[in-house]
Structure formats: structure tokens, C-alpha cells
Structure 1
């Protein structure tokens, strides 16, 4: 996904956000999980957090 398209999508007002989201889908990718379900995971090894 292009960063420019993502910026335009993020700047959309509530009225047009649904249509813009449909035209420009986005993914959220996490590489290092620091907290999940109110549980801090910082004490786990990096390999397990990934």
C-alpha cells in the first residue's frame, strides 16, 4: 500500500471514511507485541512476543 494513499485515508472525515476505507483497504501488522489483553509482555523473550 502506498503511504500517500494511507495518509489520504487517515485524513478522511467521518462522513466519507467508509467509502475511502472500502476503496483503500489497510492492514495492521504487529512485529513486537508489548501488551495483550491487559497483560504486559515485556518480560517475555522477543522471540515469543513476535
Structure 2
């Protein structure tokens, strides 16, 4: 049977690991290439604005 002290240690470890993984995920998501600022579409030459 698992003791209260082992359960406490396991809960602290898993909670800490989960928070570190969340921080790592957000760091990687913010710095990914998919979120580069979009450029304005350039006007097509030869077409007049309506």
C-alpha cells in the first residue's frame, strides 16, 4: 500500500512536471514560425481600384 508521504511526494512531483511542460509548450508555441506577423497583400499591377 502507498503511504501518505509517498502519495504527497508523487503529487508534488507530477504537479511540478505538469507545470514545467505547460510552460515549455507555451514557450515553443509563442516562438513558432506560424505566428509570424502577416504582410499586407500587394496590389496586383494593371488592375484599377473600383
Interval of TM-score (by shorter of Structure 1 and Structure 2): under 0.3
Query: TM-score w.r.t. structure 1 length?
Result: 0.24
Query: TM-score w.r.t. structure 2 length?
Result: 0.24
Bigger Rg, structure 1 or 2: 2
Between Structure 1 and Structure 2, the one with more helix by share is 2
Between Structure 1 and Structure 2, the one with more strand by share is 1
- The one of the two structures with greater contact order (alpha-carbon pairs below 8 A, sep at least 6) is 1
